[in-house]
Amino acid sequence: MSVEKLRNLCLKAKAIAKEISKKEEITVVTHVDADGITSGAIALQTLKTLGKECEIKFVKQLDENSLEKIADENNFVWFTDLGSGQIDLIEKLKIECVITDHHIPIKKVDYQLNPHDFGIDGSYELGGAPTTYLVSRCLINDRTLSTLAIVGCVGDLQDSKFGMLKSYNRVILGEGIKENVLEKLRDIRLFGKQTRPVHKMLEYTFDPYLPGISGNENGAIKFMRSINVDPVKNGSWRRWIDLSKEEKVKITSSLVKLLMKYSYPIKTIERLVGEVYILKNQPEGTELKDAMEFSTLLNATARYGYEEVGLNVCLGVCKSISERKFEVAFKKARNLLRNHRKNLSDGVKLVNEIGIKEMDNIQYFHAQDRIIDTIVGIVAGMCYSIAKLNKPIIAFAKSDDGIKVSARATQNLVERGINLAEAMRLAAEKIGGKGGGHSIAAGAIIPEGKEEEFLFELNKIIGVQFKK
Ligand code: C5P
Ligand code: C5P
Ligand code: ZN
């Protein structure tokens, strides 16, 4: 982290804020995932507080089609969590706008705040929601919004590389802690500590893969019993937050021992424990308490076309909608989460049935129309429970625009040189598709019928990455 860069970032945020303050009517346009919803919520809440006339639109991807519709409305636009990759189109269509995004920009323009323009990595140093928060802060200085910024960050897995938030993300975390709305704890970094039974939390952990436990409910229960931690108390399953400190230490150290027994790289083992982020003002034992669970709740809405539900949960946390409206949204979001979990587990079952095919450097499955395109990537990540750990997993599914491809690696593979964003982009471009994302998780859209050709190209590119 450099003070100089932070100063420049803040100066630019101020300039963007000034542009926004001049406008009376603004449309916020954002992405349909946890990071996008929180970014959009921060922008909307800012504009509402300023008394501006505003509305929000969610897009699956920003392409010529969606941008033309936006251009037709002729309103000033605030793009959040997207836009930097489409500046050419935005200019061609003469859309008057500002952009706060963290994806790699195609060029530097004065109406854009993007960490990459300052030599800051947008995949772990400053996320999309924090980028938007920096502008919001110049306009209304509501530091409680740092909670949403951090939820977005975690939803984008900005903390997965080091097991904690780093760099400029950390500055924003610090603001939330100072404001007494956030707390950072050293704890096990598994999903579901607030709401899931411990054995379920362990069963659903696939990165790192826990031998004998991952994907194996009985194995998880046996593991707990073997170290004298009872999975049940007074007739109900115990959650992580119900365990005593000693029991938590017992589980954590036994997992470390287990991974050591299987000769896991030390970095993988270290990542098991790290920082977790707590929303201090939210009720204990709910999805809203833990940033990781909060962001999954948001994904369970947006990935099924219910972005408004996720948005209202965020606005409720900001206290900017009625209690009643929030309660309705939260209830709906929890239902969607249940549905999401079922879809995920059905997805993994399906892959088990159809099998994963292997090539030299990659492995893949084709879900056709039996897994929806918006979650096939998440399913692919979970399939490390049944797939080889030493190759990326590639998943195909049908979508409205052609074939959706999702790719997932492990942190370990990334450390060995795999960059899925680059590989997916290159392979897709070779056959008339488009792709991108992050080194550990990427996606693409390709023409139907080109799957074989795509696999051939991708297998070759990944092979080269392994050699380097
Ligand atoms: O959809 P999925 O979860 O597999 O996306 C993983 C990553 O790939 C995301 O960061 C997404 O923005 C990116 N992606 C992309 N181009 C696509 C599809 C996904 O850059 N056509
Ligand atoms: O579009 P965007 O960049 O926000 O997409 C990020 C997605 O990439 C997450 O929703 C997650 O599914 C995936 N991802 C992952 N593992 C990581 C980082 C990202 O599965 N370590
Ligand atoms: Zn993002």
Q: Torsion angle, CA of 3/5/11/17, rounded to 10 degrees?
A: -110
pLDDT in 10s for each residue of the chain, 468 residues: 899 999 999 999 999 999 999 999 999 999 999 999 999 999 999 999 999 999 999 998 888 889 999 999 999 999 999 999 889 999 999 999 999 999 888 899 999 999 999 999 998 999 999 999 999 999 999 999 999 999 999 998 899 888 999 999 999 999 999 999 999 999 999 999 999 999 999 998 877 889 999 888 999 999 999 999 999 999 999 999 999 999 999 999 999 999 999 998 888 898 899 999 999 999 999 999 999 999 999 999 999 999 999 999 999 999 999 999 999 999 999 999 999 988 988 898 899 999 999 999 999 999 999 999 999 998 998 888 788 989 999 999 999 989 999 999 988 899 899 999 899 999 999 999 988 877 888 999 999 999 999 999 999 999 999 998
The ligand with the least distance to the CA atom of 443 is 1
Peptide bond before residue 231 is cis, with ω within 30 degrees of 0: no
- At 160 the pLDDT is 85
Beta strands in 224-291 (DSSP E): 232-233, 236-237, 273-279
Ligand 1 pocket, residue 434 CB under 6 Å: yes
Beta strands in 24-163 (DSSP E): 25-31, 53-59, 76-80, 97-100, 112-113
In angstroms, rounded to a whole number, what is the distance separating the alpha carbons of residues 166 and 148?
Answer: 17
Atom 20 of ligand 1, residue of closest alpha carbon: 436
The ligand with the least distance to the CA atom of 62 is 1
Tokens encoding 440: 């550990």
| Rounded to 5°, angle at Cα 192 from 408 and 209 | 40
Three-state DSSP state, 326: helix
In angstroms, rounded to a whole number, what is the distance separating the alpha carbons of residues 10 and 121?
Answer: 16
What are the residues whose beta carbon lies below 5 Å from ligand 3 (ion)?
35, 81, 128, 156
Tokens encoding 363: 């492995």
CA–centroid distance, 395 to ligand 3, in Å, is: 21
- At 369 the pLDDT is 97
The two beta strands, 97-100 and 112-113, are parallel
CA–centroid distance, 405 to ligand 1, in Å, is: 9
To test ligand 1's pocket by mutation, which of 376, 396, 424 has the most ligand atoms within 8 angstroms of CB? 424
- Beta strands across the sheet bearing 112-113: 53-59, 25-31, 76-80, 97-100, 112-113
Ligand 2 pocket, residue 408 CB under 6 Å: yes
- At 173 the pLDDT is 98
Tokens encoding 361: 């450097």
The two beta strands, 232-233 and 236-237, are antiparallel
In angstroms, rounded to a whole number, what is the distance separating the alpha carbons of residues 8 and 15?
Answer: 11
The amino acid at 421? A
Atom 10 of ligand 1, residue of closest alpha carbon: 437
CA–centroid distance, 148 to ligand 3, in Å, is: 13
DSSP for residue 367: -
Ligand 1 pocket, residue 438 CB under 6 Å: yes
Ligand 2 pocket, residue 35 CB under 6 Å: yes
Predicted TM-score (pTM) of this structure: 0.90
